[in-house]
Amino acid sequence: MLMDSLGTFVLESGKHLIRPCPGDTVVMHYMAWWEQPTAGSVTLTFTTGYVGIRGRLRWDGARWTGHAEAFTDAPPFVQATAALSLRALRPSPP
């Protein structure tokens, strides 16, 4: 879930939080946040503090598309990249 709440823990400090939906499986990345660098784009980051996944997405009018990268805190910092696309599974309530 993308939340409006701002984090206070280490790397999440001052950033909008991402948390699992109630009943979902717990993920190994215990810090997660989202940022909106420009209108129509969003960056999602999930990390342990040492390794993580960062998704950079842009709204194309129908869905969010972009790429995801696995990263570490030691060179080479980006370990892998992949295409990423998100769409709603069901419409949001009015």
Query: Is the pTM here over 0.75, yes or no?
Result: yes
Count of domains forming the chain: 1
Q: Give the residue from 59, 63, 20 showing the smallest Cα distance to 41.
A: 59
Residue 92 lies in a domain: no
C-alpha distances out from residue 84 to 6, 26, 39, 58, Å? 25, 21, 19, 10
Q: Which two tokens stand for residue 61?
A: 């009018």
Residue 76 in domain = yes
Q: Read off the pLDDT of residues 10-48 as tens digits, 9 standing for 90 and up.
A: 899 999 998 887 776 767 778 999 999 999 999 999 999
Share of the chain above pLDDT 70, in %: 89
Q: Which domain holds residue 72?
A: 2-86
Residue 93 in domain: no
Please give the backbone phi and psi of residue 10, each rounded to the nearest 5 degrees, phi first. Answer: 40, -110
- In the predicted model, is pLDDT for residue 73 greater than 70? yes
Mean pLDDT across the chain, nearest whole number?
86
